[in-house]
Amino acid sequence: MAYSYKWLQSYFDTSLLSVKEVEDGIIFHAFEVEGVEEKNNDSLLDIKILPDRAHDCLCHYGIAVEIGAIFNLPRRVNSSDYREFKKEFSNNKPERSLSVEIKDSELCRRYIGRMVENITVGESPAWLKERLENIGQRSINNIVDATNYVMFDIGQPMHAFDADKVEGNIVVRLANHGEKLTTLDGKDIELAGNILVIADNAGPLAIAGIKGGNRAEVDQNTKNIILESANFHPTNIRRTSNTVGIRTDASKRYENELSPAVADTAMDRLSSLLNQIACPPNLSEGEIRWGEKIDIYPNPQSKRIIKVSVSAINAILGIIVPEEEIISILERLEIEVSKEGDKLKLEIPFRRVDLEIVENIAEEVGRIYGYDKIPAKLLDSELSKEEEKEAAKRYRVANKIREILVKQGFSEVYGYAFTEKGEIEIANPLANNKPFLRTNLSTWIKEKLAFNLQHVLFDTEPVKIFDIGRIFKKDGEKIKETTSFVFGVARRGTKQKIGDMVNRELMATKDVLCQELKMMSCPTSDTLVQIDEVGNFSYAQIETSFDDLVSITGKFTEPNLDQFISLPVEYKKVSAFPRIIRDIALFVSESVDPEEVSGVIKETAGLLLAQDPVLFDVFIKEGKKSLAFRLVFQSYEKTLLDDEANEIMNKLADVVRETGWEVR
């Protein structure tokens, strides 16, 4: 949510620290700040509130409390935006009375209604518009803006109905089957029987806690209104919100559970604000007539008491925070602290629904005190080294397979679990035509063999890859999740021509695997191997159960993958444009190191050279050494033209000659 720095400042009589300091304070003691934006002479802090604090911090007041606690700053009880409002209601009684009935006190925990007559609907004052617009809310009219303001100020969603469009009294009840409602934004909603509504004698006026209906909408001609400040059961709001497919700022707050105690404060704030901004423009039109608050609150919440010792808090944090400091921190967070024997008795403010156990209190103390003040310590654990467990063994076998295969020239790929066809289907797949879980790895490996074969540099170069991963099948009515292992080799050429060769390579690798894993017997080939040709390439692959493999391995040497760990290098991006391949062959004197030649080529060819030159031929003839390199040219921006490659090759030839070498 976006928080206005100016709005937060309205909670303090002294000037706040700089925006940057406030931001850092929040980051290190409370919440993540995802960004700060400057707008209309204000700074907007985008603060990420997680579900544990959505009860009390999806509003400026909550953040103001945090800032006060973090910086130990005295804070006003309410924002200076409100003007004090202590009107004697009896002097100006409304003509109409209001009655409220709650049919289900579990789903609606509190409902405060108030009849207000003779208001003036109009534009909001500039300061209010600015407050709302700065945090990304559109100004509608003074009445609606005031309800929104109160929600973003103290977190309580508010609603206003046009009283002249309400027939009879307010009832909070479950919808009757077949009832319908058109929302304020014109959406027709069919109401099911488990949806809680605010209704009058004529039917539903609003979906409770989620969205108002258009029947009693406040408009330019509205004179009399009914204000609502209510509290609804979080789970029911969440379910209804899902059922009707509407999420609003109100529903988001209710589903995170608000304290019903806040509803009353919110009604007072809204009244004070309206009295300030919705009065008739001149005396001849009379004054606003305020009705009493009609407060239906069947089971008033009582304050939560937590008793905790200072040592229990410190035992969680691993540091000694002095008692006075703990008390000060908690009091800054509006927790009332008193001593009871050797314990602290904490009276938790209503709005802090999240504070229930000693661990919660330790977190409050720790974060405000500062996690940076906690020292780093190690623990002397007395672990009895038991026998190796199955999972640890599986991990070791997997790494051994990796070690063996990488030594054999295989590279490891990780595939997707999602496929087009399979046995286990995802109920809510992403829209990518892959709603199933894979039943094997080899289908994908075959594709990747073909894919990577397109990029080899030489026609005779093989592609060798492997993957170890879970596959998912149905076993009767059950799910069968197993780990599979696949490795495959592919080369260009027909099966007739090179099929045997590819097969032999694969079998040789399999034999090395069996040997290195010290298996008693090597599974026979024909049950496992797939060999075929596709287009212009032939491949062979074996997919087998990793789980079975683990059970038949013997005492193999410990895997060590350190030798294959790459340094933290910046990898070179793969270009999406086609490459051009050229060869260069040259004679150099026998003493010249091919590395030196490669270096000269790299330097001359420049940025379009996509990878290091590959030396593919060396021979010595009459005291001269012949070297042949294959070069790959590729651009990140476009398809390279032959001419461009030619130009580089010509330049290269010149440089080679100048160096005293000879182009063959």
Partner 1 sequence: MIEIEKKGHLHPLTQVTWEVCQAFEELDFEVAEGPEIEDEFHNFDALNVPADHPARDMQDTFFLKGFSNLLRTQTSAVQARFMEGNKPPLKIVVPGKCFRQEATDARHEAQFHQIECLLVDKGVTVAHLKGYIDLLFKKLYGEEVSSRLRPSFFPFVEPGFEIDMKCFNCHNTGLVDGKNCSLCSGSGWVEIGGAGMVHPNVLKSVKLDPKIWSGFAFGFGTERLAMIKYGIEDIRKMFDGDLRLINQL
Shorter beta-carbon distance to partner 1: residue 6 or 53: 53
CA distances in angstroms from 50 to 30, 46, 258, 275, 354, listed in the order given: 11, 13, 14, 35, 12
CA distances in angstroms from 638 to 8, 313, 452, 644, listed in the order given: 52, 63, 22, 12
- Which segment (109-117, 142-150, 345-353, 447-455) binds partner 1 by CB under 8 A? 447-455
Q: Would you say 209 and 251 are in contact if contact means Cβ atoms under 8 Å apart? A: yes
Q: How many residues does the chain have?
A: 664
Q: Binding string to partner 1 for residues 75 to 104, with x set by CB under 8 A, is what?
A: ------------------------------
> In the window 400-429, what residues touch partner 1 (CB under 8 A)?
402, 405-418, 424-429
d(C-alpha 320, C-alpha 317), whole Å: 8
> In the window 4-23, what residues touch partner 1 (CB under 8 A)?
none
565 touches partner 1 by CB under 8 A: yes
d(C-alpha 617, C-alpha 458), whole Å: 12
- Which segment (95-103, 216-224, 446-454, 489-497) binds partner 1 by CB under 8 A? 446-454
- Whether the CA torsion 646, 651, 655, 657 is positive or negative: it is positive
- Least Å distance between CB 418 and partner 1? 7
> In the window 136-175, what residues touch partner 1 (CB under 8 A)?
none
Q: Would you say 486 and 441 are in contact if contact means Cβ atoms under 8 Å apart? A: yes
> In the window 180-219, what residues touch partner 1 (CB under 8 A)?
none
Output b/e per residue, 253-264; b: 16+ Cβ within 10 A.
bbbbbbbbbbbb
For residue 319, give every residue at least 6 positions away whose Cβ sits within 8 Å of its Cβ, in sequence order, or none.
Answer: 373, 374, 375
455 touches partner 1 by CB under 8 A: yes
317 touches partner 1 by CB under 8 A: yes
- Least Å distance between CB 153 and partner 1? 22
Half-sphere exposure of residue 1: CA atoms within 13 angstroms, side-chain side: 25
- Least Å distance between CB 533 and partner 1? 20
- Least Å distance between CB 257 and partner 1? 9
Q: Left, alpha or beta for 217 (phi > 0: left; psi -120 to 50: alpha)?
A: beta
Among 332, 464, 510, 625, binds partner 1 (CB under 8 A): 464
444 touches partner 1 by CB under 8 A: yes
> In the window 224-243, what residues touch partner 1 (CB under 8 A)?
234-235, 238-239
> In the window 22-51, what residues touch partner 1 (CB under 8 A)?
27-32, 50-51
Among 564, 585, 650, 654, binds partner 1 (CB under 8 A): 564
Q: Would you say 528 and 549 are in contact if contact means Cβ atoms under 8 Å apart? A: no
Q: Binding string to partner 1 for residues 543 to 562, with x set by CB under 8 A, is what?
A: ------------------xx
Q: Binding string to partner 1 for residues 365 to 384, with x set by CB under 8 A, is what?
A: -xx---xx-xxxxxx-xxx-
Among 10, 124, 222, 256, binds partner 1 (CB under 8 A): 256
d(C-alpha 663, C-alpha 660), whole Å: 10
- Least Å distance between CB 184 and partner 1? 24
Closest to 175 in 3D by CA, of 151, 210, 140: 210
Tokens of 98: 């209001």
621 touches partner 1 by CB under 8 A: no
Q: What is the secondary structure of 499-535 as a DSSP string?
A: HHHHHHHHHHHHHHHHHHTT-SSPPPGGGTEEEEEET
Shorter beta-carbon distance to partner 1: residue 117 or 467: 467
- Whether the CA torsion 425, 431, 433, 439 is positive or negative: it is negative
- Which segment (78-86, 181-189, 190-198, 448-456) binds partner 1 by CB under 8 A? 448-456
Shorter beta-carbon distance to partner 1: residue 360 or 545: 360
First-to-last CA distance in the chain? 69
- Which segment (7-15, 175-183, 387-395, 635-643) binds partner 1 by CB under 8 A? 387-395
Among 2, 501, 615, 655, binds partner 1 (CB under 8 A): 615
d(C-alpha 106, C-alpha 283), whole Å: 45
Q: Would you say 633 and 604 are in contact if contact means Cβ atoms under 8 Å apart? A: no
> In the window 347-366, what residues touch partner 1 (CB under 8 A)?
357, 359-360, 362-363, 366
Among 77, 569, 576, 607, binds partner 1 (CB under 8 A): 569
Question: How far from the centroid of its chain's Cα atoms is residue 506's Cα?
Answer: 43
CA distances in angstroms from 583 to 587, 625, 630, listed in the order given: 14, 16, 4
- Which segment (92-100, 223-231, 287-295, 563-571) binds partner 1 by CB under 8 A? 563-571
Tokens of 405: 């295969």
Shorter beta-carbon distance to partner 1: residue 131 or 464: 464
Shorter beta-carbon distance to partner 1: residue 299 or 482: 482
- Least Å distance between CB 481 and partner 1? 5
Among 47, 191, 250, 465, binds partner 1 (CB under 8 A): 465
- Least Å distance between CB 124 and partner 1? 31
- Which segment (270-278, 291-299, 313-321, 489-497) binds partner 1 by CB under 8 A? 313-321
Shorter beta-carbon distance to partner 1: residue 54 or 59: 54
Shorter beta-carbon distance to partner 1: residue 12 or 487: 487
Shorter beta-carbon distance to partner 1: residue 111 or 629: 629
d(C-alpha 448, C-alpha 26), whole Å: 48
573 touches partner 1 by CB under 8 A: yes
Strands 580-589 and 624-633: antiparallel
- Least Å distance between CB 466 and partner 1? 9
Shorter beta-carbon distance to partner 1: residue 300 or 370: 370
Closest to 461 in 3D by CA, of 491, 423, 419, 495: 491
221 touches partner 1 by CB under 8 A: no
- Least Å distance between CB 458 and partner 1? 6
Question: How far from the centroid of its chain's Cα atoms is residue 216's Cα?
Answer: 38
For residue 13, give every residue at least 6 positions away whose Cβ sits within 8 Å of its Cβ, in sequence order, or none.
Answer: 74, 76
320 touches partner 1 by CB under 8 A: no
- Least Å distance between CB 120 and partner 1? 39
389 touches partner 1 by CB under 8 A: yes
- Least Å distance between CB 377 and partner 1? 4
Query: What are residue 158's phi and psi, to 5 degrees?
Result: -130, 155
Q: Which residues pair with residue 529 across a beta bridge?
A: 542
Among 73, 319, 519, 522, binds partner 1 (CB under 8 A): 319
Query: What are residue 141's phi and psi, to 5 degrees?
Result: -155, 175
Tokens of 605: 């060819």
Strands 42-48 and 478-492: unpaired
For residue 106, give every residue at least 6 positions away whose Cβ sits within 8 Å of its Cβ, in sequence order, or none.
Answer: 233
d(C-alpha 396, C-alpha 372), whole Å: 38
- Least Å distance between CB 564 and partner 1? 5
